[in-house]
Amino acid sequence: MKHAIDLNPRQAARVFEQATRSHATILLEPSVWGYFDGLKGFIASGDERTVMVEITESPPQPLEGLRGLYCDAELLLSGHRYMFCSDIVEVVRLGEGTQTLVLSRPATLQVAQRRRFWRADLAEPSSVWLASDGPEGQRHMASVYNISQDGMACRADVAASDVLLIGDTVDSSFDLPRCPRHFKLKAVVCNKTPAADEGKVILGLQFVRDQADREASESLRILTEFLAEFHQGALQRGEP
């Protein structure tokens, strides 16, 4: 992880809503415990003020003494890591062997930036159209900064960045130099970074992989093969 991006309250609320619906995994490190004494569970339920975490593994220490203390939390959702600090409001026993912690829900979150695959920096300019998911989605044009089989970074106007929020699903449409395929792929906005150019923002997008969408699966296969050839050519030219 290079660094993390702060999410605003609206974006954080959407993450918590998605995490509650999918019962996302969460890791907790109570402040009074040692570094290796953590808790693992999932988000069972929650509301605007609290998050209910059901503990799924035997705790290394009794939970009763945690009431009123704070903890560091790491939320795992859709391949991303979200971090926050929270107060442990209550410890609840819902049944035999089942323990639940009630956490205060913070107003903001941080999302860790990550990069799993080599990314191609395009020497020739390439544009991408981004449209908000839905029948009334607005279209915004951006320029491709770099791309991998997992996603892309693109340079967009601040106006587009203000509309496309972290966690949003967008329809991307783009061409790549010397590649005959026209790509139409769904992607999730993962992060935003101010660009060196004034009035521009770098948007980090992760492609959505849906095996039921044959056209998208074929496009991702072609993209992977194209980038592999691109990478091989870069290595032969002595480029990193």
CATH number of the domain residue 25 falls in? 2.30.110.10
Total domains in the chain come to 2
Higher per-residue pLDDT: 32 or 218: 218
User: What is the rounded distance in angstroms from the CA atom of residue 194 to the CA atom of residue 123?
Assistant: 21
User: What is the pLDDT, as a whole number, of residue 38?
Assistant: 82
Among 112, 135, 153, the domain boundary falls at 112
Q: What percent of the chain has pLDDT over 90?
A: 34
User: CA angle at residue 169 from 166 to 173, to 5 degrees?
Assistant: 115
What is the pTM (predicted TM-score) of this model? 0.51
Same domain, 139 and 55: no
Same domain, 96 and 127: no
Given a cut of 80, whether residue 82 has pLDDT beyond it is: yes
Same domain, 83 and 44: yes
User: What is the pLDDT, as a whole number, of residue 48?
Assistant: 93
Point out the least confidently predicted range of 61-70, 118-127, 202-211.
118-127
Q: Do 183 and 176 contact (CB within 8 A), yes or no?
A: yes
Confidence of residue 229 (pLDDT cuts 50, 70, 90): confident
Beta strands 50-55; 70-77: pairing state? unpaired
Point out the least confidently predicted range of 12-26, 119-133, 155-169.
119-133
